[in-house]
Amino acid sequence: MPRTTKPMFAGLDMTGVTLTSATLTWDFIKRLKDVTTMKVIVKGLENGEDAALAVKSGADGIIVSNHGGRATETGRPTIECLPEVVQGAGGRLPVLIDGGVRRGTDVFKALALGATAVGIGRPYIWGLGAFGQAGVERVLQILNTELRLAMIGCGTTRIADIAAKSVIDTRRQM
């Protein structure tokens, strides 16, 4: 059976809206949700205020991202933005992090700071470029092993047990 496709924004009034324009407002999330049954995930948030607006606007998830530093190369790293975004989302939707994950310890830190999941774009691409599928599988194996070692080092036996106390010195006043 042939696969049918339709334009990305078919059925959505895109008059005066471009995806890189200041005319893109939080109302756009509702407009997208009105024409699709798919989940709408907002990528590129870096602060708690925007996370709260994403929740209020009906987003189904958030990806904390600085787009590889291309958009805001002098801004905060995503791992520094993560706790604020997680707090802004208030547990009402998943918060993923995309950017800066190079080791299993980075995965551990992101999970400890509240990420639901992490993106591993660059390591994945490096493995793919160097050795194809076997390279990707090896990258995933290395990250998994490093994550397990970090968990052992912090006394956590399950992903669900990873907590902020493992990466934040709670004895210090913030």
For the annotated catalytic residues, the residue numbers are 67
Q: Which are the contacts of 101, defined by CB distance < 8 A and separation ≥ 6?
A: 107, 110, 118, 119, 120, 123
The answer to whether residues 85 and 95 touch, using CB atoms and an 8 Å cutoff, is yes
Burial class of residue 150 (count of CB atoms within 10 Å of its CB; 0-12, 13-18, 19+): buried
Whole-Å CA distances, 156 to 2, 10, 148, 163, 170:
49, 47, 9, 9, 17
